[in-house]
Amino acid sequence: MKKNLLLIIFLFLIVTGTASARVYAENIKTVQTPSFDFEARPIIIKKEPFLPIKPVLESLGWKIIWDSKNKTVQAFKGENTLIIKIGSNVATINGNAVLQNNPPVIIKGISYVSSRFIAQEFGTKVRWNRKDNLIIISNRDTENIKVSGQGNIIVAGDGIIVNIFEPYGIDIVYDQIDDADQLLSAKKPQEAVTKYKNILENISEKENPNIYCHIMNNMGNAYNVIAGFRDTENNSRNAISAYSNALRIYSSDKRSKNYFITLNNLGNAYFNSWELSREKADLMAASDIYVEIQKSGCLDDAYIESALIDYNTGMVYDSLGKKQMAVESFIKAQNKYLLLLKKVNKEEKEEIWALLQYNLGNVLKSLSFIIDREKNAKKAVSAYENALTVMTVESYPLEYAQIHKYMGDIYKVLSSLDNNKREYALRAIEEYTESLKIYTSEEYPVCNQRINLELETIFH
């Protein structure tokens, strides 16, 4: 039976935040290309650069007509037409509606449009160059663009300088990282990956190692979430690559908490990859990682990370056929979760309480497959049901679905016992069916397929 290490959102750990700092450009090399100054300077709205519409489009070869009555910009380039209405999220290109994340605005008589809209719709690239503190728009590689001026930023298109304006600090990058982290926490991993990739275009691993590691660890988390739903093999490998990149830097201090958090995540990714590929090298890599973490003695037993490592280690031992060692690790994890639950008041910290109940359910479920099957299975169901008092379908749909899937696994195993076979089989079907209400084939094909396979074995 397939074993999942952890519930994705809670299981893959997020590294601690980075400290903010402002960085501005120095006097640098002289521009060799012609310049074209805008009437107005670009501005930041909702953490995104907005560019003056008229000079930006003119620099890209469009002819502009302003309709003051309807507050609309009409632009023409050859046979192409563009209509941008101030305040509207919908622009029209050649008669086709195009949605903008943030609508155009007028500030002090100047019309502005989102830089991302320009990048997406006109094939240009908007990025921040950390070294020179630039925002650059270009269809081609911009590495050879040079700038002049104290604390200036240049927006350029195909070698033509179209504007010089004041820089914004790296704190904007931190805001973007916060946005990406929130997308991940909100269970929107694909959107988070896209955001993280955009940020990586704007920073240097060498100059911003802490930011780089933060992004790589959390991007690995996002890939691991996606791997549970679709294209499991590729996304698991992407997760392994992201964690490994972060560890190249974190390994300079192998006593730091972030090092062990990322190392644990890498172990999870290897284990998940092994579940799909059955490549023993992946399983052994996960085993080596968990052994390293346990031998380090750096994780306090009073913290959830220590219990997670014991649980993950037990999962690897179980997969290696070392049942007694698996049981010992699971019992360690169980005892730590029970101790933590005594310290957490549900009314005061219900999310943490629910997470602990969920993780305790995982441990007991795994134990039930090895020893005291019925006793541990019933304890696992009790812990899961406690978690569901907080993780409702409305508030935590994915956690809700995962728990019902796990309870279906438990009842399916119990249905193989001599007692109450039919009753347990029916309960398993009920739990799997409830899970499928969330895990639809369209949105979560991997989960949907796995559950339907489990249902087929019951029916046959």
pLDDT (tens place) for every residue of the chain, 460 residues total: 333 333 333 345 544 444 332 222 222 222 222 233 445 566 777 767 788 888 778 877 789 999 888 899 999 988 889 999 999 988 998 888 888 878 999 988 888 888 777 766 765 444 444 444 444 444 444 444 333 333 333 444 433 333 333 334 466 677 778 888 888 888 889 989 988 988 887 677 887 888 899 999 999 999 988 988 888 889 999 999 999 999 999 888 888 878 888 998 999 899 888 887 888 899 999 999 988 888 887 766 667 888 988 998 999 999 999 999 999 999 999 999 999 999 999 988 999 999 999 999 999 999 999 999 999 999 999 999 999 999 999 988 989 999 999 999 999 988 887 677 888 999 999 999 999 999 999 888 888 999 999 999 887 6
In terms of phi and psi (left: phi > 0; alpha: psi -120 to 50; beta: otherwise), the region of 159 is left
Cβ neighbours around 53 below 10 Å, total: 26
Residues in the chain: 460
Q: Which fold does the domain 8-18+173-459 belong to in CATH?
A: 1.25.40
Question: What is the pTM for the complete model shown?
Answer: 0.62
User: What is the torsional sign of CA 371, 374, 379, 380?
Assistant: positive
Cβ neighbours around 257 below 10 Å, total: 17
H/E stretch holding 424:
helix 421-436
User: What is the torsional sign of CA 231, 197, 57, 54?
Assistant: positive
For residue 200, give the amino acid letter.
L
Cβ neighbours around 178 below 10 Å, total: 12
Q: For the chain, where do the domains classified as CATH 3.30.457.10 start and end?
A: 43-168
* CB-count burial class (<10 Å; 0-12, 13-18, 19+) for 252: exposed
Q: Which CATH architecture has domain 43-168?
A: 2-Layer Sandwich (3.30)
Report the number of secondary-structure helices (H) and strands (E) in the chain.
Answer: 16, 13
User: Rounded distance, CA 12 to CA 283, Å?
Assistant: 18
Q: For the chain, where do the domains classified as CATH 1.25.40.10 start and end?
A: 8-18+173-459
User: What angle, rounded to 10 degrees, do the helices at 232-250 and 257-277 form?
Assistant: 160
Question: DSSP for 389-418?
Answer: TTS-TTT-HHHHHHHHHHHHHHHHHHTTSS
SS3 271: helix
Tell me the sheet residues that pair with 160: 157
